Every structure is written in C-alpha cells, then in structure tokens.
Amino acid sequence: MTAACPAPHHEDEVVLLGHGAGGRLTAELLDTLVLPALDGPSGPLEDAALLPGHPDLVVSTDSFVVSPLFFPGGDIGSLAVHGTINDLAMRGARPIALSVALVLEEGLPLSELRLVVQSLGKAARDAGVPVVTGDTKVVGRGAADRIFVNTTGVGQRRLGLRPSAALARPGDAVLLSGPIGLHGTTVLSTREGLGFDSDIASDSRPLHHLVAALAPLGAHVHTLRDPTRGGLAAALNEIARASSAAVEIEERTVPVPEAVAAACDLLGLDPFIVANEGCLVAFVDAVAAEEALTALRSRPEGGQAVRIGEVLPQGPRGRVTLRTLVGARRVLDMPLGEQLPRIC
Amino acid sequence: MTAACPAPHHEDEVVLLGHGAGGRLTAELLDTLVLPALDGPSGPLEDAALLPGHPDLVVSTDSFVVSPLFFPGGDIGSLAVHGTINDLAMRGARPIALSVALVLEEGLPLSELRLVVQSLGKAARDAGVPVVTGDTKVVGRGAADRIFVNTTGVGQRRLGLRPSAALARPGDAVLLSGPIGLHGTTVLSTREGLGFDSDIASDSRPLHHLVAALAPLGAHVHTLRDPTRGGLAAALNEIARASSAAVEIEERTVPVPEAVAAACDLLGLDPFIVANEGCLVAFVDAVAAEEALTALRSRPEGGQAVRIGEVLPQGPRGRVTLRTLVGARRVLDMPLGEQLPRIC
C-alpha cells in the first residue's frame, strides 16, 4: 500500500455516478486509475478475457446493482445470468460455468431474496449453464441497497470464432440483431413510475445461441459486442477506437421501437446511448454479410436483425459517423456517462 | 420467476447479519433457499468448485465488504486477492487468473479508491497472478458503503493434490499452519477504536506457496481449509460434517497470540470462531504427519505450524470435540453466526 499518486487526478476528486455508466467517464477512470494499478491490458478492453495458458477459455465478470430489482422482462437475477453469458458470447464462447456472489442488506425480506435466486437459477438452467460456486455476504441496514449480484463466467470458445473489438476492418458490414433501447427505458420507467413499462419490457436474454448461429461463418465474423451500458453509441465507439476504424451508421436502419422513442423523447434521452441486454452488434466481412443476416434471423432473438452500416475504406479512423434521416452526417460520440445510473 | 415458496421459511423473515457470518445461519440460508434455487451441489460445499469438463481447473468467488477498508496488516484490496487465492489453494490449486469487480459509492474519494486498487494490484503481482478482467459499477450516496470488491479466481490444480472437505479419514492428523484470531480481532479493534490494533495485525496473506510445499505428499493430504468466517470452529465443523468424521482437538496446542486472547476476553469473543485470513487447516494421513509439518514449517507463513488434533477411529461422527486445558471434553459447535459482521 502506498500513498503515491502518479495519475493526474486531484486528490479532492470523488467517484461520480457517471464513472459507472460505461461512457467516457468510465473509460477515464479505468485508463488513469484502475488499469495502471492492476497492470491491466494495454490492448483493447474486451467483453471477456482469455484465460492464460488456456486459449480456448475466456472469463468475464460483472456486478449487477440494477434498481428496481424487478422490472418488466426480468429482474436482477436473470439479468446477472444473461449479462455474463453475453459477455462470454461476444468472444465467441459458450458458457460452461457461472459463479454467483450476493451482497445482501440486513432486513431484506427472504421472500424477495428467494424470488431473485429462483429467477437466477431458472435463467441459468434455461441457458444450460451450471452455477458451480457462490458466496453470500450481509451488510448492515443502509450499507447496501437490498441486493447486489456478481456473476463471473467461464466460457469455451467455439471452433473458428475468434471475434475481438480490435478486428473490425474496412469494408465490414455492421449488423444489429434487434431493436435498441428496451432495457434502459424499461428500467428507468419502472424506477421512476413513468408508466411506459406497460408498453415495453427489457430485452434481457442470453445471446450465446445467436452467436452459435454465426459460428459457421468462422473468421468472417470480426467483432461482436452487446451494447449494454452506454448503448449502441458506446459499443460502436469502443470498436471504432480499438480497430482504428471509420464506422458509418445509417440512422434510419436502426430499429427503435415506438414506445422507446416516445419514452426517450419525454425523458430527453438518446436511444443510441440507452442500455440493451438482448441484442448484439456484429462486424462481418462484406462477402459474408448476407449469410450472417440469414443466420441471425434464423433464431427468434435475431428475427429483426438488420444491416445498419459499414466500416468505410477511408474516413476518420476511430470515429463513428451517423448518416441522419435527412442525409446529413454527424459524429456519434462516446457518451459522457452521466445519463442512467443503476441500469444493470 | 415464480412466487412458489417450497422452503420452510415464513414470508415475514428477513436477512440477518448472521446470515453472512459463515456459521449455522449461513449454512441454513444456503441449504434452504439459495442452493435449491440454483441446483447447487448436493455434496460438500468446497472452497472452490471444479470447472465442468476441465478437471484440472477450479473456480472460486468471494465478495469483500470489510469495514473499515484499511486495517493493520492489510486492506480490502489485498484481502480480496488473498481470500480468493486461498480458496483456490484449498483445492490444491495455484491461481492462474483473477477477475475484479468493484461496486463504488458515489462520493468516494478517488484517492481512497486508488489506494485500494494499488494494494490489490500489488497483492496480485506479489502472488504472481494476473488480473485479467474487471467491472466497475457506481451506486448513489447511501446505496453502498464506500467500496465492495468481488474477486473470482481460476486455479490449476497441482499434480497429485486432490484435497476435499469430504476426504478426512479416521486416524488423520489435524495440522494448523499458524496462530488463530489475528484477522478478526484486528478488524474489529480498528473498526471500534479499541486500541488493540497497535499490538496486532491481520494475518492476511496468500497460502498457495504453503500448499505447494505440501504437494510432494500428494494423496496423503486429504483436506485443506482456511478458517476464515466462522473461524477454526466453523472450518473444523464443515470438514467433520462433510467427511462424517469424529474430530478431536487438543485445546492447549492451538496457538492463540496473547493480544488476541486479551482482545477476545474483553470483547467476549471465542478465538476459535474469529476469522483468519492467513492460516490453513490440513488433514493428512498419520503416516505423513511429520513430513507435512516439516513442509509447512519450511515456509515463513507456516513457521509456527503445529499438530492440533486427530480424527478419532471411533466417536461422534460429524462432530468436533475439544479436549480442554483441564482435560475435560466439550463439543466445539458450529458457531451460530451473529458475532462479527463485515470482517471480510
């Protein structure tokens, strides 16, 4: 333990809600404070890491602090399973084991805890992945908000699938497996009692079968990413940056459900930066784009898959450009990150 | 998600601090609520689980909620590394990768966060295990207490070492690698400002080298356990129960540092149920007991290793008996669990 402070932070700075929102503030916290201390990877941050000495295995961890615990389409238990399965899937892996660690607030009704763990167990069973180990801690009243869940997963990579955020290439087609904005607007609407949650539900679901459907395309699948915190804008920006790619998205092709658009309008949110928990972005070689779309659409969870853009042969590397409805071009920036706390 | 409630709990029951203390309440919560929902293992609960399809790999997860964050001998960062390494080591494994997930409270000084992650990084480096992936979430003020850390580890089992809580056998020698009670009394004394922390320090440290020293004994090493939450009493009772063994401990042989004894006297604590983070209990075949002691003592962290008891050829199976200083015998029970919240 040392008091040395090499990073350029003022000592009176504090953690902000936006540091956890998956945007620029999160990236800054990681780059300047966390990763240097942990000897973190200098390469791109992937959804899941390779296990040293076992190149066919990947590991991913996520803590879930979503509020409220229950929302249309899911709850913190099912979300914790889907979220980690999906991070593994984005590296081309099928999940082989999950760990579950609970932090509970004293006074939490056991009936509520039971609903959460039953939902978690059901989600794991439905996805075919065993929960192999766990941990339970309890803190006093007021020292946590009800339940926090950590899931960590180990996945086995599918033969031939080696997607990485750094592998997008000029000419790639950008595919999206389904509509955006459902999870974030549902959680927010439920939390704030806005009433939209009668029309919409979270898209929380496991995506490993969808990735399996892409497996026959093998090395044509360059990059997979599930646009969770920070939404589609953050996912595309992370890929553009990691691959030094000029990504261009056709705005009118991006499916935004009506209820999501209405909720976002009311709340002053941009659907492009709202979290999703059940769709993925795929960057695939142009020659395989049609085959990839067909593969995605072969699964119910990819039934609405569409092509939303491409990696330009030339253009501003590391940037995402949106061709708007009226034909103009604007930069789709990495969100700053203050928008939606405790969305997952 | 279902509202069915098969377990014999009243719906007005709530989570208690003792549910997280590693004793009988924790076991009851796991047995009646968590494990049935998760299709958990029906066999003994081990410190780390085998990875399905990869019998040489084990996985373990732990969330750390210790308060205060910093204490003599360690902090939540180093503790989170040591705790998970040790759970892997108790299955005969060396750590090959760690994940780290942080839940941060809005308003936490970045300077404090930096100290924690620097300590975490140093502990991982010192132990030779890379942090391969991570996650950061932020919750609003008052929704968490400063920092919670989850670490999950993957370990590779050492050739020939296959210890399990269920493998203790009649005739086994019970060895203890060092003095007990230091971690729990240090944290409690620091938290409550009792002043003992000038005399004592947590024993928090990694134990995988100590386990490596035992590797040459191979299958003679039946059971390894680090007596953390619930202390030596909980660890021995878990082993006795999992192995249906009659364990007898000679009280005078168990090393309790003077300062620990004094603190426990004052606080009304039993050193046998105070948490440790840097010692282990080993059940080894009697023929290998001397060799095992020599191996433990060959490492600094095992320098004070002693033989503290044996598994009786006959006796009350699943129970731990203490031969007291005056020669009487009493049952050393599984602690109930309300004693020491947020000790790790």
Given CB atoms, is B50 within the 8 Å cutoff of chain A? yes
Nearest CA in chain A to B66: A139
Q: Are residues A70 and A119 in the same domain?
A: yes
Distance CA A138, CA A146 (A): 10
Statement: residue A201 has pLDDT above 80: yes
**pLDDT score at B4:** 43
Mean pLDDT, residues B2-8 taken together: 43
Nearest CA in chain A to B123: A1
Domain presence at residue A190: yes
Distance CA B15, CA A107 (A): 5
Q: Are residues B324 and B194 in the same domain?
A: yes
> Could you say which of A114, A132, A157 is where a domain stops?
A157
Distance CA B176, CA B308 (A): 7
> Could you say which of A101, A128, A157 is where a domain stops?
A157
Tell me what the pLDDT averaged over chain B comes to. Answer: 93
**% of chain B at pLDDT higher than 70:** 94
Distance from CA of A43 to the nearest CA of B (A): 12
**pLDDT score at B43:** 62
Domain presence at residue A179: yes
Mean pLDDT, residues A3-24 taken together: 72
Mean pLDDT, residues B281-302 taken together: 98
Distance CA A165, CA A41 (A): 13
Residues B227-258: pLDDT tens digits? 999 999 999 999 999 999 999 999 999 999 99
**pLDDT score at A7:** 47
Residues A104-139: pLDDT tens digits? 999 999 999 999 999 999 999 999 999 999 999 999
The total number of structural domains in chain A stands at 2
Q: Are residues A240 and A184 in the same domain?
A: yes
DSSP state of B312: -
- Do residues A78 and B1 touch, judged by C-beta distance below 8 A? yes
Do the chains contact at A63 and B124, CB–CB below 8 Å?
A: no
Domain presence at residue B259: yes
Mean pLDDT, residues B160-180 taken together: 97
Backbone angles phi, psi at B139, to 5 degrees: -120, 160
Residues B106-141: pLDDT tens digits? 999 999 999 999 999 999 999 999 999 999 999 999
Given CB atoms, is A201 within the 8 Å cutoff of chain B? no
Do the chains contact at B144 and A142, CB–CB below 8 Å?
A: no
**pLDDT score at B340:** 78
- Do residues A59 and A48 touch, judged by C-beta distance below 8 A? yes
Backbone angles phi, psi at B149, to 5 degrees: -125, 130
Backbone angles phi, psi at A214, to 5 degrees: -85, -15
Given CB atoms, is B63 within the 8 Å cutoff of chain A? yes
Tell me what the pLDDT averaged over chain A comes to. Answer: 93
Give one word for A248, left, alpha or beta, with left for phi > 0 and alpha for psi -120 to 50: beta
Backbone angles phi, psi at B310, to 5 degrees: -155, 165
DSSP state of B337: S
Alpha-carbon distances, residue B220 vs B92, B135, B216, B287 (angstroms):
12, 40, 9, 8
DSSP state of A39: T
Number of CB pairs < 8 Å for A and B? 312
Token digits for B97?
């990768």
Q: Are residues B87 and B184 in the same domain?
A: no
Q: Are residues A133 and A218 in the same domain?
A: no
Facing residue for B132 by CB, picked from A7, A52, A114: A52
DSSP state of B9: -
Q: How confident is the model at residue B10 (pLDDT cuts 50, 70, 90)?
A: low
**% of chain A at pLDDT higher than 90:** 86
B259 Cβ partners below 8 Å, 6+ apart? B185, B196, B199, B200
**pLDDT score at A98:** 97
Q: Are residues A129 and A187 in the same domain?
A: no
- Using a CB-CB distance cutoff of 8 angstroms, which residues of chain A are in contact with residue B51? 96-97, 132, 154
Given CB atoms, is A135 within the 8 Å cutoff of chain B? yes
Do the chains contact at A111 and B5, CB–CB below 8 Å?
A: yes
**pLDDT score at B11:** 52
Residues A243-294: pLDDT tens digits? 999 999 999 999 999 999 999 998 889 999 999 999 999 999 999 999 999 9
> Could you say which of B96, B129, B157 is where a domain stops?
B157
CATH number of the domain that residue A298 is part of: 3.90.650.10
Do the chains contact at A136 and B61, CB–CB below 8 Å?
A: no
Given CB atoms, is B201 within the 8 Å cutoff of chain A? no
Mean pLDDT, residues A64-81 taken together: 98
Interface test with A, best of B69, B94, B116, B135 (most A CBs within 10 A): B135
Token digits for A186?
């549902």
- Using a CB-CB distance cutoff of 8 angstroms, which residues of chain A are in contact with residue B41? 132
Q: Are residues A138 and A192 in the same domain?
A: no
ipTM rounded to 2 decimals: 0.94
Given CB atoms, is B69 within the 8 Å cutoff of chain A? no
Q: Are residues A217 and A327 in the same domain?
A: yes
Mean pLDDT, residues A144-170 taken together: 96
**Helix crossing, B76-89 with B110-127: angle to 10°?**
30
- Using a CB-CB distance cutoff of 8 angstroms, which residues of chain B are in contact with residue A46? 133
Distance from CA of A93 to the nearest CA of B (A): 15
Distance CA A127, CA A93 (A): 13
Give the type of residue at B255: P
**pLDDT score at B194:** 84
Q: Are residues A110 and A178 in the same domain?
A: no
Facing residue for A135 by CB, picked from B41, B63, B100: B63
Distance CA A127, CA A121 (A): 10
Distance CA B160, CA B92 (A): 9
Which class for B212: exposed (0-12), middle (13-18), buried (19 or more C-beta within 10 A)? middle
Residues A173-190: pLDDT tens digits? 999 999 999 999 999 999
Q: How confident is the model at residue A325 (pLDDT cuts 50, 70, 90)?
A: confident
- What is the extent of the structural domain holding B321? 173-331
Interface test with B, best of A5, A12, A17, A63 (most B CBs within 10 A): A63
User: Three-state SS for B220?
Assistant: helix
Residue whose structure tokens are 């007596």: B227
- Using a CB-CB distance cutoff of 8 angstroms, which residues of chain B are in contact with residue A109? 11-15
**pLDDT score at A157:** 96
Nearest CA in chain B to A78: B1
- Do residues B281 and B163 touch, judged by C-beta distance below 8 A? no
Distance from CA of B214 to the nearest CA of A (A): 24
Statement: residue B152 has pLDDT above 80: yes
- Using a CB-CB distance cutoff of 8 angstroms, which residues of chain B are in contact with residue A38? 100, 117, 120-121, 124, 131, 134
Give the type of residue at A280: L
- Do residues A28 and A18 touch, judged by C-beta distance below 8 A? no
Given CB atoms, is A68 within the 8 Å cutoff of chain B? no
Distance CA B51, CA B39 (A): 16
Of the listed ranges A164-168, A323-327, B79-83, the least confidently predicted one is A323-327
**% of chain A at pLDDT higher than 70:** 94
- Using a CB-CB distance cutoff of 8 angstroms, which residues of chain A are in contact with residue B234? none
Given CB atoms, is A148 within the 8 Å cutoff of chain B? yes
Distance from CA of B313 to the nearest CA of A (A): 32
Given CB atoms, is A149 within the 8 Å cutoff of chain B? no
Domain presence at residue A213: yes
- Using a CB-CB distance cutoff of 8 angstroms, which residues of chain B are in contact with residue A16? 106, 138
Statement: residue B14 has pLDDT above 60: yes
Distance CA A118, CA A124 (A): 10
Neighbours of A285 (CB within 10 A): 17
**pLDDT score at B102:** 97
Statement: residue A41 has pLDDT above 80: no
Q: Are residues B254 and B303 in the same domain?
A: yes
Statement: residue B83 has pLDDT above 80: yes
Q: Are residues B180 and B290 in the same domain?
A: yes
Domain presence at residue B41: no
Do the chains contact at B20 and A115, CB–CB below 8 Å?
A: no
Q: Are residues B190 and B310 in the same domain?
A: yes
- Do residues B202 and B73 touch, judged by C-beta distance below 8 A? yes
Distance CA B103, CA B171 (A): 46
**pLDDT score at B128:** 97
Domain presence at residue A37: no
**pLDDT score at A267:** 86
Given CB atoms, is A26 within the 8 Å cutoff of chain B? yes
Statement: residue A3 has pLDDT above 70: no
Q: Which of residues 315-344 of B touch A (CB under 8 A)?
A: 341-342
Helix, strand, coil shares of chain A as percentages rounded to 5?
35, 25, 40
Domain presence at residue B95: yes
Q: Which of residues 94-123 of A touch B (CB under 8 A)?
A: 96-97, 99-111, 113-115, 117-122
Statement: residue B12 has pLDDT above 80: no
Statement: residue A10 has pLDDT above 60: no
Token digits for B9?
């709990």
User: Three-state SS for B305?
Assistant: coil
Domain presence at residue B220: yes
**What per-residue string of b and e applies to A185-207 under the rule 16 or more CB within 10 Å gives b?**
bbbbbbbeeeebbebbbbbbbbb
Distance CA B181, CA B202 (A): 9
**pLDDT score at A159:** 84
Residues B200-228: pLDDT tens digits? 999 999 999 999 999 999 999 999 999 99
Of the listed ranges A14-23, B33-42, B55-64, B119-128, the least confidently predicted one is B33-42
CATH number of the domain that residue A54 is part of: 3.30.1330.10
DSSP A295-313: HHHTSGGGTT-EEEEEE-S
CA A15 to chain CA centroid, Å, is 22
Alpha-carbon distances, residue A217 vs A162, A212, A247, A297 (angstroms):
11, 10, 22, 14
